[in-house]
Structure 1
Amino acid sequence: MTSIKPFEMNDLFDLNPVNLDPFTENFNLSFYFQYATQWPDLFFKSVEEAPEFAPNISGYMMGKTEGQLAKKEWHTHITAVTISRDYRRLGLASDLCLHLERITAVQPYETLFVDLFVKVTNSVARQLYEKLGYSVYRRVIGYYGQNYPTDRNHTDDELDGFDMRKALPRDVNRETVRENGEKHYVLPAEVVF
């Protein structure tokens, strides 16, 4: 049976099976601590529990809120959502995303949208998010590169990222999403909240 629970600092010692994946970003300890202290409600884990076995972390979600409401930028950002290889294709990533959306669609957060970045070449992740109602808002040129580019027309599927968004109920007129976002190119320096 799977349950969703708040992330605890001791859980960092049990993340290796979840983080050992080429698509999973690994962070330093201070980064995890920052999320656990600033956005504790938005940092949680999925845990597999059975009477005959010790509880096992199968995945986790790191989220935060940022931006200004007056600029229509107040949103939830998915920093990381990852599932252990042994528990993939069971819908856990979807469950974690939907849990985050439910939390931040209402008070005290009540954000306008949820966003995340995904590598252009990561079609599996993109399909997952599209099934959940996300769409590409813009293509960020060189988002995953070592050097920030200066030419927004120089695309590279290996280095570019899609900024994907899903409007939440507070965005009644869906002003925070757009059609054909794949064709809207921006530089990393232009992604500011």
Structure 2
Amino acid sequence: MGKVESSPDLYQFSNHYLPWHAHITALTVAPEARRLGIGKILTEQFEAAANANDACIFRVVKDYYGDHATDAQRRSEDAFDMRKSMERDVRCQHVRDDGEMHEVEPEDVW
């Protein structure tokens, strides 16, 4: 499942503002095909295809998942935010080559 959206106009002068961009929000594997590594394979293929275009970035989002589900003393898990320019971002203004080296906070991810 995916969507195309833009950051609210209110934030157009923010460093984190993004014009139209897409999100892939879910990858589903049928119950009878789970635990076979299919989700991992599909995700790896998606990453490889995106990386082949040299137009995507990954950012580590610290504590993205909020409080730890079973232990309030433990930190939550980090996540990766992946971005890839759409056709109309011809100058690739909203991606960077070394995105995996940048940590951001959850509130900075749109």
Q: TM-score category by the smaller chain?
A: 0.5 to 0.7
Query: What residue identity is the alignment partner of 2:23?
Result: H
Match of 1:179 in 2: 97
* Aligned counterpart, 1:81: 27
Q: What are the ranges of 5 or more consecutive residues in structure 1 without an aligned counterpart?
A: 1-61, 94-121, 148-155
Relative contact order (C-alpha < 8 Å, sep 6+): which is higher? 2
The code of the aligned residue for 1:74 comes to: W
User: Identity rate of aligned residues, in percent?
Assistant: 37
User: Which runs of 5 or more residues in structure 2 are unaligned?
Assistant: 69-74
Three-state SS of the structure 2 residue aligned to 1:172 is: coil
- Residue equivalent to 1:36: none
Aligned to 1:64: 3
CA contact (8 A) 1:137 1:179 kept: no
Provide the alpha-carbon RMSD of the alignment.
Answer: 3.4
Check whether the contact 1:136–1:162 (CA below 8 A) recurs between aligned residues: no
Kindly name which structure, 1 or 2, has the bigger radius of gyration based on alpha carbons.
1
Deviation at 1:80, TM superposition (A): 0.9
Structure with the higher fraction of residues in strand conformation: 1
CA contact (8 A) 1:63 1:78 kept: yes
1:159 aligned to which of 77, 81, 88: 77
The 3-state SS of whatever aligns with 2:93 is coil
Say which SS state the counterpart of residue 26 (structure 2) adopts: strand
Tell me the amino acid that sits aligned with residue 170 of structure 1.
R
Distance across 1 between alignment mates of 2:41 and 2:63: 17
